[in-house]
Structure 1
Amino acid sequence: MDNHKEKILVVDDEISIRRILETRLSMIGYDVVSASDGEEALQIFRKEYPTLVVLDVMMPKLDGYGVCQELRKESDVPIIILTALGDVSDRITGLELGADDYIVKPFSPKELEARIRSVLRRIAKINISSSIPNSGVMNIGFLKIDTNKRQIYKNHERVRLTGMEFSLLELLISKAGEAFSRASILQEVWGYTPERHVDTRVVDVHISRLRAKLEDDPSNPDLILTARGTGYLFQKIIMKENVAI
């Protein structure tokens, strides 16, 4: 596998974890840079422009949550959170702040490598599809969605979505009116099958984030609906296509 252009930033205050990940990821072809605290992570990110960030939560100076918040102000770079926190609500805090996925410590390096490959495959697929001209913009109620530029507008105002959020929305719209289970969404968008029920919370948090950004009343959504006992679906309404916004 040719990963020579893919740069990964590993952020962890434990030197043993940094060394293991630097060694393993370098051996399979990635360009790896690392940081030992949150402030250093932001400095290196702005200098190196990595393709993906592996981010520990518990760190000195600035924790992983703070780093995640700062990164999301300026970038949609994929972020995988590493957390040793036991409470599920603590684990998903990073997702609510904009991370794409999380892995709980102690973790298998092979599992992390698989998650990284899934994210990078998704990015590569997006880059390929984005280079192919299409019909332009879909109009869905008060939303305009440019699937080629991967941009979305609500009432003519640009709404910023992460790559994962857009991919999730795109999947739901592709079969509007049809319910997707959480497990199938995880497989289609994140690229892996959930091993534990808690894994599907990743989907729930991303759905919540999408609703907060797109719905007029996120607590009573009109577009992204919950399918009881199943998962989620996008409300089937009339869509029109334009050439441009």
Structure 2
Amino acid sequence: MRHHIYIVEDDPNIQDIVTAYLKKEGYDVSVADSAEQAWEQTRKASPDMWILDIMLPGMDGYELCKKIRQDSEVPIIIISAKDDEVDKILGLELGSDDYLTKPFSPRELVARVKRLFKRVDVSGTQTHPASSGELSLGELKLNTEERTVFWQGIEVEVTAKEYDMLQIFVRNHNRAFARDELLSLVWGEDYFGSDRAVDDLIKRLRKKLDGLPIETVWGYGYRLRYNEEDGK
């Protein structure tokens, strides 16, 4: 199956060059001049990867990145003339997977695209291997083949990273994980950004799975508490 990449960039020269290189590698490519145009065109069919410029007319790339991350974990690469560290960190904290500063080599961009697709499948699910079957911990059940989550008998929709975090906790319940360790396990060792991403993900899980005993280990990280005797 061919991967579909959506480029949001208002510079026609960059559009043409990047499109040509990606198509040469066998990818399907769509292009938009604005974030609004791209968002409208992908409402019914999300691409397998986004390449976003930051400085766009109207809605900027940061805002589009936030909107994408509200319901999707597909890879996002930001390309921008902004090369300050704070801009890179902001982009990564908003959910992008990589940040490339202009001017850049199209070959380097292609290499980063390939690297991300090796780590992520078509649906945006990270390709961490999992044993087949079901993982259970009290009222929490994970289907490792379908990557679905059930809490108190009700299926709960979770993102790919939320599922990965839950699987780590279930397999290692009662173990305390440092924030930077969770960042590496869920986002990958090459992730460059703040561990606030871990806090935000934990906050979402606590909201979706109300009552699940994810405990804060102050000054360190988090653990999923489970009492074998009480079954909770």
Same fold (TM over 0.5): yes
The CA deviation at 1:70 is 3.1
Alpha-carbon distance between aligned partners in 2 of 1:36 and 1:138, rounded to the nearest angstrom:
47
Q: CA RMSD in A?
A: 4.0
Work out whether 1:117 is the aligned partner of 2:114. yes
Specify which of 36, 40, 43 is matched with residue 43 of structure 1: 40
Specify which of 17, 20, 43 is matched with residue 20 of structure 1: 17
Alpha-carbon distance between aligned partners in 1 of 2:18 and 2:163, rounded to the nearest angstrom:
29
Percent identity of paired positions between Structure 1 and Structure 2: 29
The CA deviation at 1:215 is 3.8
Code of the aligned partner of 1:207: V
The equivalent residue for 1:5 is: 2
Specify which of 193, 198, 212 is matched with residue 201 of structure 1: 193
The equivalent residue for 1:69 is: 66
Unpaired stretches in structure 1, ≥5 consecutive residues: 240-245
The CA deviation at 1:43 is 2.6
The CA deviation at 1:178 is 6.9
The equivalent residue for 2:203 is: 212
Distance 1:201 1:133, change over 3 A: closer
* Larger relative helix fraction: 1
The CA deviation at 1:103 is 0.7
The equivalent residue for 1:81 is: 78
Match of 2:193, SS?
helix
- Given that residues 182 and 200 in structure 1 are in contact (C-alpha distance below 8 angstroms), is that contact kept between their aligned partners in structure 2? no
- Correspondence 1:175-194 to 2 at 5 A: 175=172, 177=175, 179=177, 182=180, 186=184, 189-190=186-187, 194=190
The CA deviation at 1:236 is 6.4
| TM-score, normalised with respect to structure 2 | 0.69
Aligned length: 220
Work out whether 1:103 is the aligned partner of 2:99. yes
- Given that residues 179 and 198 in structure 2 are in contact (C-alpha distance below 8 angstroms), is that contact kept between their aligned partners in structure 1? no
Work out whether 1:170 is the aligned partner of 2:161. no
The CA deviation at 1:56 is 1.7
